[in-house]
Amino acid sequence: MSNFVPLFDAMPASTSQVDVEFFDPPMCCPTGLCGPTLDQTLLDVSEMIVSLQREDLRVERYQMTSHPNAFLGNTEVMKLVREQQMAALPITVVHGKVIKVGAYPTLAEIKASLNGAKA
């Protein structure tokens, strides 16, 4: 019997860090862009995510109902949700730091936080 362990089994599933995370309130679909009318704010967020991804940034978006472990795994996000309940959502995190609570940030706010994290 061999004690050989394949190298690929030892590698982590993902080696890159998430740059920007959105912790969304419950919505009817992952982007909230479903239904008979479009919410301009959610459309702006989707466009912002595409813009960030074009800059090779890793962006993740979570909803409590479909990604509960993402919420549970972030102690700062869970603290805000426990204190403010649904009023805390959406919560935006850049490089592990909460930058906005209760509303979506602008692209300029995210870029300023990204630049601040590099300094």
61 DSSP β-pair partners: 22
Cα dihedral 69, 71, 74, 80 in deg (nearest 10): -160
Q: Residue 24 falls within a domain, yes or no? A: yes
Does the CA dihedral 48-110-81-68 come out positive or negative? positive
Domain that holds residue 88: 16-118
Q: What is the pTM of this model?
A: 0.79
Q: Residue 90 falls within a domain, yes or no? A: yes
Q: Residue 8 falls within a domain, yes or no? A: no
Tens digit of pLDDT for each residue in 95-112?
Answer: 999 999 999 999 999 999
Instruction: Kindly report the CATH number assigned to the domain that includes residue 67.
Output: 3.40.30.10
Eight-class DSSP state of 108: H
Tens digit of pLDDT for each residue in 12-53?
Answer: 344 458 999 999 998 766 666 666 677 788 889 999 999 999
Tens digit of pLDDT for each residue in 2-20?
Answer: 444 444 433 334 445 899 9
